[in-house]
Amino acid sequence: MLKITDLHAGIEDKEILKGINLEVNAGEVHAIMGPNGSGKSTLSAVIAGKEEFEVTKGSVELNGEDLDEVSPEERAHKGVFLSFQYPVEIPGVSVTNFIKTAINESRKARGLEEMPANKMLKLIREKSELLDIDRRFLSRSLNEGFSGGEKKRNEIFQMAMLEPKLAILDETDSGLDIDALRIVANGVNKLKSKDNAVIVITHYQRLLEYIVPDFVHVLHNGKIVKSGGKELALELEEKGYDWLKNEAVV
């Protein structure tokens, strides 16, 4: 599904990603870990196509298509979902209305008709039940006064509704209490299927107590310095990141 080859990217004159190779197939959950400043958020932004970063070498392919010339919006329409690091507040627009609009905009961009209202309602009911989201939450104003956990709930609800092929969850280092972690983990575990893939980016090993990844990659100084199975996360928990800084790059 996703194939990243020798990816170099940066901002202005600064190279941040220094040769990333990564393959993610449908049905897989990958965790990307690494110390602060190693380039995790940059990698997620580059996959999503954020334009402030410049790809200087290598490629990102989605189902065989090189994404170089593909805008962030088009990537989203192709099924790439990036969790919102800095969610906006929209007073007066409910969680439900926001997602209805997002879904219909996306359908329009793909030349599809609006989703019929009854189908939309059914989808909302299905997904909110799956994720244990109550009705009162759905009618609240988007992000207005949301706690950390509620922001995560909204994000996971958006992901569930949009049914992405590739979901990238960049769990930033701040404000993730245990409730928020559980919401994210529960969402990922319930939404994963053989047809989609998830990349969970985290500084914390703790998240991986709740999500069991198929693969774990450690990013350091813009490169993946180690890849392994879920046991690698446990090893990191025990030893921290320092021992990896001198690992040979494969």
Q: Which residues bind ligand ADP (CB under 6 A)?
A: 11, 14, 16, 34, 36-42, 52
| Residue closer to ligand ADP, measured from CB, 15 or 209 | 15
Contacts of residue 235, Cβ cutoff 8 Å, sequence gap at least 6: 228
CA distances (Å), 9 to each of 5, 60, 81, 190, 248, in order?
Answer: 12, 11, 20, 33, 21
Residue count, binding to Mg ion (CB under 5 A)? 2
- Using the minimum distance from each CB to ligand ADP, give the nearer residue, 52 or 231: 52
Phi, psi (deg, nearest 5) at residue 57: -160, 150
Beta bridge mates, 5: 59
Choose from Mg ion, ligand ADP, none: what does 11 bind? Cβ within 5-8 Å by kind: ligand ADP
Minimum CB distance to Mg ion smaller for 39 or for 149: 39
Identify the residue whose tokens are 């007073």: 91
Tokens, residue 205: 């090993």
Collapsed DSSP state (helix, strand, coil) of residue 197:
strand
Q: How far is the CB of 103 from ligand ADP (least distance, A)?
A: 29
Nearer to ligand ADP, 2 or 16 (CB): 16
- Beta strand 166-171 with 80-82 is parallel
Residue 41 lies near Mg ion (rule: CB under 5 A): yes
Closer residue to ligand ADP (CB): 18 or 182: 18
- Interface segment toward Mg ion; rule CB under 5 A; list 40-48, 50-58, 128-136, 151-159: 40-48
Paired tokens of 69: 């010339």
Q: Stretches 37-45, 156-164, 189-197, 210-218: which one binds Mg ion (CB under 5 A)?
A: 37-45
Residue whose beta carbon is closest to Mg ion: 41
Q: Quick one: what does residue 42 bind among ligand ADP, Mg ion, none, with the CB cut-off 5 to 8 Å set by partner type?
A: ligand ADP
Among residues 201, 193, 194, the alpha carbon closest in space to that of 176 is found at 201
Q: How far apart are CA 44 and CA 50, in angstroms?
A: 9
Contact residues toward Mg ion (CB under 5 A) are 40-41
